[in-house]
Structure 1
Amino acid sequence: MDTEDDRISAIAALNEPLRRRIYRFVAMQEVSVSRHYTATTLGVARSVAAFHLDKLANLGLLEVEYRHLSGRRGPGAGRPTKLYRRADNEVTLSVPQRHYDAAANLLAQAIEHAVDTSVSVIDALNVASLEYGKFMAAGIHGLEDHHSSPIEQLGNLLANYGYEPRIVRKTITLANCPFRTLTVEHRDLICGMNRALIAGVVEAVGLAGTSARLDPTPGRCCVKITV
């Protein structure tokens, strides 16, 4: 479930009442369940249960395994039963995009590094954020468009992470801050982290003369990119 569209589809699928009921039923079970068991317990046709179970599995909300419930193996054992269980992966969606999980990971890395070394937490956070930005930039290869300029390609990458970039000549402003709630009480810390992260993206993309600097303005991200 790599894209925002995938997450929207998965969550939207649960809007159907029976499918949502089936998902909750499977999630509550200690062991994987079959189509027959689900249908019998919930009082629906087996074909209906199968349809919704497979839909949930295709969307990544359920995981599938095959097992002989009788314990028999080899010739005569018959076909294994298709079983379903709740998937371990999380599906989160926010509009506009927020990435508090990324902030939590970066802060945790910084604290651990600071504890193990003599580096300050702030310096450790800047390093971790810079490296994460470089990791983000690896995604630009999937967004390359030979009809777009390098600055437009950079904008596409940032858009993929929810920054909502606005390009005017050689300047990119970011209409959305993925860490907005954290900036309310920890502005200096989080804005510094964000600037280092975006600086890592810019460095990895390799746009000569490009800089990411703090330019706090109400209603948008605190970082501005100038090419």
Structure 2
Amino acid sequence: MDSEGHRNPGWRDRLRALASLDDERRRALYLHVRDAGRPVGRDEAADALGLSRGAAAAHLDRLVDDGVLSASFAKRPGSGGPGSGRPSKFYSAAVGEVAAAVPERAYDLAGELLAAALERAAATGEPVHTSLAAVGREAGERLGRAHAAIDEALDATGYSPRRLEDGAIELGNCPFHRLSRGHREVVCSLNTALLTGAIAACGGRYGLEPLEPGEGTPCCARLVPGEGPGTQG
């Protein structure tokens, strides 16, 4: 999930995309397409790697399915003869990056929100911490609106939520773990704002209970049942 609330490929999808490059032929095809700097057709890719056209097509399409390449259709330059009017399939390196971490992390989201907060502070003159709280809450609200329930919103962001017997939701993973080790106050403030916004957008049936390191969870807060928009208490 990015700062606009758009769904990113799931953790398993990203692992599958990276795993697809473990195959030597697919990796070679990907590198050939990437290094060409232009769309590459099936025939060209097959000839470059000494593969049959069918084998090259199958591997290229697998890379498209896994999000590593993108596909487009166009007529081949200089084509002629029977069937020349039909467009051919061409492949390019995907624009979006593919990254996976175990446990799941969301450093790209943190970077986007921190940059947005700095831009807002520069434009408005308000303190950076005020901008960070506003940007984080707005992103959390978009996140909440993109999902049907708070559990789904938390899972999509990498929090690994676990429901406890008392109705609380424990966050089994911190998506910003490495950042929080060196910048705990900033990251936990951002995390609080993000969670507060998500709770509010999902119905506001939880509050945030702050936690200190060593209290049995990697996150700085957990969600506890209660009325209101989800404020830290």
Partner of 2:150: 154
Relative to structure 1, the CA distance from residue 173 to residue 77 in structure 2 (aligned partners, 3 Å threshold; closer, same or farther) is closer
Is the 8 Å Cα contact of residues 137 and 201 (structure 1) preserved in structure 2? Answer: yes
Partner of 1:197: 194
CA deviation profile, 1:31-54 (whole Å, cap 9, x unmatched) = 211111111111122221111111
Residue 210 of structure 2 corresponds to residue 214 of structure 1: yes
Report the 3-state secondary structure (helix = DSSP H, G, I; strand = E; otherwise coil) of the residue aligned with 2:192.
Answer: helix
4+ residue segments displaced more than 4 Å: none
Tell me: higher relative CO, structure 1 or 2? Use CA pairs within 8 A at least 6 residues apart.
2
Report the 3-state secondary structure (helix = DSSP H, G, I; strand = E; otherwise coil) of the residue aligned with 2:34.
Answer: helix
CA deviation profile, 1:175-210 (whole Å, cap 9, x unmatched) = 2100010011110010011011101111111234x2
Relative to structure 1, the CA distance from residue 70 to residue 183 in structure 2 (aligned partners, 3 Å threshold; closer, same or farther) is closer
Partner of 1:21: 28
Relative to structure 1, the CA distance from residue 56 to residue 157 in structure 2 (aligned partners, 3 Å threshold; closer, same or farther) is same
TM score, norm. by length of structure 1: 0.86
Q: Quote how far apart the aligned CAs of 1:3 are.
A: 2.3
Report the 3-state secondary structure (helix = DSSP H, G, I; strand = E; otherwise coil) of the residue aligned with 2:147.
Answer: helix
Is the 8 Å Cα contact of residues 141 and 201 (structure 2) preserved in structure 1? Answer: yes
Partner of 2:139: 132
Relative to structure 1, the CA distance from residue 70 to residue 154 in structure 2 (aligned partners, 3 Å threshold; closer, same or farther) is closer
CA deviation profile, 1:135-161 (whole Å, cap 9, x unmatched) = 1112322xxxxxxxxxxx433431232
Unmatched 5+ stretches in structure 2: 1-7, 226-233
Partner of 1:118: 125
- Provide the aligned C-alpha RMSD in A: 2.1
Q: In structure 1, which of residues 162, 180, 185 is the aligned counterpart of residue 182 of structure 2?
A: 185
Once residues 16 and 72 of structure 2 are traced to their aligned partners in structure 1, the CA distance between those partners, rounded to angstroms, is: 23
Partner of 2:85: 78
Q: Quote how far apart the aligned CAs of 1:61 are.
A: 1.7
Q: Quote how far apart the aligned CAs of 1:71 are.
A: 4.4
> Which structure: greater helix fraction?
1
Aligned pair count reads 215
Is the 8 Å Cα contact of residues 202 and 212 (structure 1) preserved in structure 2? Answer: no
Is the 8 Å Cα contact of residues 40 and 92 (structure 2) preserved in structure 1? Answer: yes
Aligned positions of 1:32-111 closer than 5 A: 32-71=39-78, 77-111=84-118
Report the 3-state secondary structure (helix = DSSP H, G, I; strand = E; otherwise coil) of the residue aligned with 1:212.
Answer: strand
Once residues 168 and 220 of structure 2 are traced to their aligned partners in structure 1, the CA distance between those partners, rounded to angstroms, is: 14
Identity in percent? 35
Relative to structure 1, the CA distance from residue 192 to residue 133 in structure 2 (aligned partners, 3 Å threshold; closer, same or farther) is same
Relative to structure 1, the CA distance from residue 192 to residue 44 in structure 2 (aligned partners, 3 Å threshold; closer, same or farther) is same
Once residues 64 and 152 of structure 2 are traced to their aligned partners in structure 1, the CA distance between those partners, rounded to angstroms, is: 31
Relative to structure 1, the CA distance from residue 120 to residue 40 in structure 2 (aligned partners, 3 Å threshold; closer, same or farther) is same
Once residues 205 and 50 of structure 1 are traced to their aligned partners in structure 2, the CA distance between those partners, rounded to angstroms, is: 44
CA deviation profile, 1:4-26 (whole Å, cap 9, x unmatched) = 23222222222211111111111
